[in-house]
A and B are shown apart, each in its own frame.
Chain A
Amino acid sequence: MERNELIQQLKEQIIKQLNLVDKKPEDIGDDDPLFVEGLGLDSIDALELIVLLQQEYNIKLNNAEEGQSIFRSVSTMADYILERQAGSAN
């Protein structure tokens, strides 16, 4: 999947998984922070994002500490997914 396509898909999945009924994919900038300012997600949402990675992309976080950089924005999530997928394809 192309990076842009993945970013769009992630935005839709985040809205669905986190019940962000007042948001549309176009409201979320690719590099907008997901937590605090930006989308304003909280710690429970972070856990839901971990579930989303596992459920939709079969990716299990090896180290919870990584979460902070992976979930910084939709772009960083997409890069992480592409990196893991490339790693498992090799």
Chain B
Amino acid sequence: MHITSFCKIRNHKVWRNEELIYERKTEGTDILQDMYDQLTLNYPKFFKMDDLCKLGTLAAHVLLHHLRLENYQPEDIGIVLSNSNASIEADVKYYESSKAYPSPALFVYTLPNIVIGEISIRYGCKGENAFFVSEQFDARLLHFYVMDLLRHQRIKACICGWSDVVNDTMEACLFFVEVGNHNGVNFTAENIDKYYKQDLNGKE
């Protein structure tokens, strides 16, 4: 099992496989909107999403944009994500809206695993999926769960990692793991932990 693609969004910067591909130039701009424009996502449904789904969708776009997924059946690709703040931003917005007229469009985002649904819709993934909430990035849990799915041949590839939004802080770290493709780094708990913690600023 190998990590064949990697995306990291942190501190208003975006990296694909350690290459810096986006950096916010102007303070105060809507970072998600700016990333959408600069990374040419071109997906109008994006504007209806909450921030967690926007972040996950952008990260998946960066992760998968250059890959050929045609060889996979929809059931072959799973998604396993995690974060520490669940859907707190959407929860608070919905709570505030419900004081006047509860908004159905906000309500549908009051679960963290909705981001998995949004990515699945965009890329047609129908494989196994799960969302874990833990205090910190838990490389061992993520690795164990994804390996279990891959080993038991329930899926042949997996989008996995971390996507978290709270207050003005957002952070995503996604990996694409494949069984049959050996062009990449070994998928181990140590490697994903290293990538997650790695300060990529030196790579600019």
Of the residues B44, B47, B104, contact of A47 by C-beta under 8 Å: B104
B103 contacts the other chain (Cβ, under 8 Å)? Answer: yes
A22 touches B44 (CB 8 A): yes
Q: How large is the interface on B (under 10, 10 to 19, 20 to 34, 35 or more residues)?
A: 10 to 19
Q: How many residues of A contact B (CB 8 A)?
A: 12
Nearest Cβ in chain B — how far from A53, in angstroms?
Answer: 11
Nearest Cβ in chain B — how far from A57, in angstroms?
Answer: 12
Of the residues A19, A47, A54, contact of B48 by C-beta under 8 Å: A19
Return the chain B residue nearest A49 by Cβ: B104
Of the residues B44, B101, B102, B104, contact of A44 by C-beta under 8 Å: B104
How many contacts between A and B, using CB within 8 angstroms? Answer: 27
B141 contacts the other chain (Cβ, under 8 Å)? Answer: no
Interface of chain A: mostly helix, strand, loop or mixed: helix
Please indicate the chain B residues that have their CB under 8 angstroms from the CB of A48 in the complex. Answer: 103-105
B108 contacts the other chain (Cβ, under 8 Å)? Answer: yes
Contact bitstring A50-90, B, C-beta under 8 A = 1, else 0:
01001100000000000000000000000000000000000
A45 contacts the other chain (Cβ, under 8 Å)? Answer: yes
CB-contacts of B100-128 with A (<8 A): 100-105, 108
A20 touches B105 (CB 8 A): no
Alpha-carbon separation in the docked complex, A55 to B103 (Å): 11
Nearest Cβ in chain A — how far from B200, in angstroms?
Answer: 31
A21 contacts the other chain (Cβ, under 8 Å)? Answer: yes
Query: Which of B's residues lie within 8 Å of A, judged by CB?
Result: 44, 47-48, 100-105, 108
